[in-house]
Amino acid sequence: MIASDLQSPISNFQPLIVVAGPTAVGKTALSLRLAEACGGEIVSADSRLFYRGMDVGTAKPTSEERARVPHYLIDVADPHETVGLAEFQALGYAAIGGIHARGKVPILVGGTGQYVRAVVEGWSIPRIPPDVALRAALEAEAQREGVEQLHARLARLDPEAAQRLDPRNVRRVIRALEVCLLTGRPISEQQRKRPSHYRILQIGLTMERSALYACADRRIEAMMAAGLEDEVRVLLEAGYGFHLPAMSGLGYAQFRSYFEGRATLEEVVAEIKRATRRFIRQQYNWFRLTDPAIRWFSVAETTAEEVEQVVRAWLEQARD
């Protein structure tokens, strides 16, 4: 079904609106407004929203927000499952195709740059199944020699992939090495791009960095007040340990030292804030302000109404 969608568009006009940008910048609120104004439905491109039971720490859209506008690719897996890039891309294409079939406008929303670009740029993703033994060996190598050495090994095999990946993102560094070692070819070489049949408008939201950090800090404090500690405890009691990819994510992994009695709650909150700032910097590496494919709007200088007008005008022009 996915392949036929790509090869045989439903019509010559297949719009896709993308709302991207760093965490805490206001993507959810804008996407809801655009969807209601333009007959849209939302496809999440945030890898942290896939998992059931992980609501507070991911700032998942509320049930009220999801009642206002249909959302897709939220709560599609349990925390012990993994939604890889290739699976996400297939699910994303299917969701977008379904929205087009209903005569609606798909709005792809998220801050996970790799996932957004995989759909927008039509990546051909290596479908190499995980090799448990190789991953264990690479994880042991990272612990023994350090993550920087593991990243340096990737840089020797695939400089392009290494340049894109933060050395601290051990899981993705290991995956890139896994593909290289199992296939004998760089993962960047295998991630070819196919021309998209969508007509794409990419909207990027940005904010002055210190103001964005302050917004992120306030959101983390609101998460704590909303019961993030209890959410993590419930997940642990359900058997979802910190070794799982879902539990190694931002806002969850930082609780490990607390539940193991090695840190206070205040220290955990401080670490989440520091990790969130690092994450924001990584997001700006994926969504570059100089990217000509993205139309950037400063939240401080542009109203949501102005962005809506731009989107409406683009939709009208694209239909002509």
Question: Contact, 172 vs 165, CB < 8 A?
Answer: yes
d(CA 163, CA 36): 39
Per-residue pLDDT of the chain (320 residues; tens, 9 = 90+): 223 333 333 345 699 999 999 999 999 999 999 999 999 999 999 999 999 999 999 999 999 999 999 999 999 999 999 898 889 999 999 999 999 999 999 999 999 998 999 999 998 888 788 888 998 999 999 999 999 999 999 999 999 989 988 898 888 899 899 999 998 988 888 777 787 889 999 999 999 999 999 999 999 999 999 999 999 999 999 999 999 989 999 999 999 999 999 999 999 999 999 999 999 999 998 899 999 999 999 999 999 999 999 999 999 987 76
Spell out the domains of the chain, with CATH numbers in brackets.
2-125+192-319 (3.40.50.300), 132-190 (1.10.20.140)
Q: What is the pLDDT of residue 12?
A: 55
pTM of the model: 0.84
Q: What is the pLDDT of residue 271?
A: 98
d(CA 193, CA 241): 36
Q: What is the pLDDT of residue 32?
A: 98
